[in-house]
Amino acid sequence: MKKTPLYEIHQSAGAKLIDFAGFEMPVQYEGINAEHLQVRNKAGVFDVSHMGNFIVEGKDAKDFLQYMTSNDVEKLFPGKVQYSVLTNENGGIIDDLLVYQLGENKYMLVVNASNIDKDYAHLKQYARDYDVELKNLSDDMAILAVQGPLAPSIIAELTDEPVEDMPFYTHRTLRLAGHDDILLSTTGYTGEKGFEVYAPAAKAKDIWLSLFEAGKDNLKPCGLGARDTLRLEKGYCLYGNDIDESTTPLEARLNWITKLKTGFLGSESLKKQKERGVDRLLTGFVLEDRGIARHGYEVTDKEGNVIGKVTSGTMSPVLNKAIGMAYVPPEYSNEGSEFFIKIRKKLVPAKAVKLPFV
């Protein structure tokens, strides 16, 4: 398995390591609930160096990304970040990603670890028609996600530049923890205030240690387990669970990043789907009885007829309730709608709720 530049630190800290997308990654240190609440109340840091990083540069870079991604790249400017998806010709989601505009004709894409090779091949296939150069920097970069209400004050300790008032989904390059040319963005996957730190792999350990020196008692390391429960409380999609090539952004309620007028790849199929209406919608729910809904569990009506499947589910550490998301027919997707989750052989009542849960 591949290892991130911080693998030895995770080992020495006693992290429980698992195989995730071909990387040996920490799933937890102290425990998922403790790490979850640490991020909600103070601050936690995640090693997300397994994520993919591509550079798209050249005269046609903007036009290329406008065709390849669902959001409106025209709205970007140097220093701005955008959430988007890559779609296939049928409108299915190849991946969800972040698009950074670094300069006039230069962008960075941050993609999911499990999709690095697939995404890069997909982009290369269509890049032939544009004056662009693609570079895969995934093996050369480290990414640290510092998340939680105290994250801004911790990062501020490590730089002379003002960062606490950086707008959401922006980035800048600065000197951090004694290292020049570190890219800092106000993005994350927890719904809390926070930053993602992009640095050359060789600098990752020093920055990690500097973060804990600055954070003292307010920062703890967190694993993928808490990252998953944190994102689910906010209703964020996880690729491979809630979205994949068999789902469209309209079904996943990602209309807000699906700008059909831009004419991106798959937009014609999505226009047709929008006109006829979707057959299912990703819907948040809370269980009304004991049990936890897991990925793949069946959703039924009161007669026991299968109407959908659970995509994500957990026990919310903040709400102390079992929450989840599932694709169900539109008539079951409205707030307050009732359906059932088949857990073992029992039909457990559930109620549709408006996202986010927290």
pLDDT at 176: 98
Say whether both 144 and 109 belong to one domain: no
pLDDT at 254: 98
Say whether both 20 and 144 belong to one domain: yes
Kindly state whether residue 334 falls inside one of the protein's structural domains: yes
pLDDT at 252: 98
Say whether both 103 and 157 belong to one domain: no
Query: Which residues in the chain land under pLDDT 50?
Result: none
Asked which of 73, 102, 136 is the last residue of a domain, the reply is 136
Say whether both 178 and 327 belong to one domain: no
Instruction: Residue 148: count other Cβ atoms within 10 Å of its Cβ.
Output: 26
pLDDT at 35: 98
Pairing of strands 81-87, 93-103: antiparallel
pLDDT at 50: 98
Please list, in sequence order, all residues whose beta carbon lies within 8 angstroms of the beta carbon of residue 40, skipping any fewer than 6 positions away.
148, 192, 230, 317, 318, 358
Within 13 Å of residue 214, how many CA atoms lie on the same side as its CB? 23
pLDDT at 106: 98
Among residues 237, 239, 251, which one has the least CA distance to residue 116?
Answer: 239
Kindly state whether residue 81 falls inside one of the protein's structural domains: yes
- Reported as a single tens digit per residue, the pLDDT across 218-258 is 999 999 999 999 999 999 999 999 999 999 999 999 999 99
| pTM for this entry | 0.97
pLDDT at 31: 98
Count of structural domains, the chain? 3
Q: E strands, 29-170, where?
A: 43-47, 52-57, 81-87, 93-103, 106-111, 133-136, 141-147
- Reported as a single tens digit per residue, the pLDDT across 175-206 is 999 999 999 999 999 999 999 999 999 999 99
Q: What residue numbers bound the domain in which 323 lies?
A: 279-353
pLDDT at 320: 97
Residue given tokens 């809904």 in the structure block = 293
pLDDT at 206: 98
Say whether both 15 and 126 belong to one domain: no
Q: Is the peptide bond before 162 cis (omega within 30 degrees of 0)?
A: no
d(CA 154, CA 168): 17
Cβ density class 274-284: b for 16+ within 10 Å, e for less: beeebebbbbb
Say whether both 12 and 150 belong to one domain: yes
Asked which of 136, 160, 193 is the last residue of a domain, the reply is 136
Q: Which CATH number do you get for residue 12? A: 3.30.1360.120
- Reported as a single tens digit per residue, the pLDDT across 94-116 is 999 999 999 999 999 999 999 99
pLDDT at 340: 98
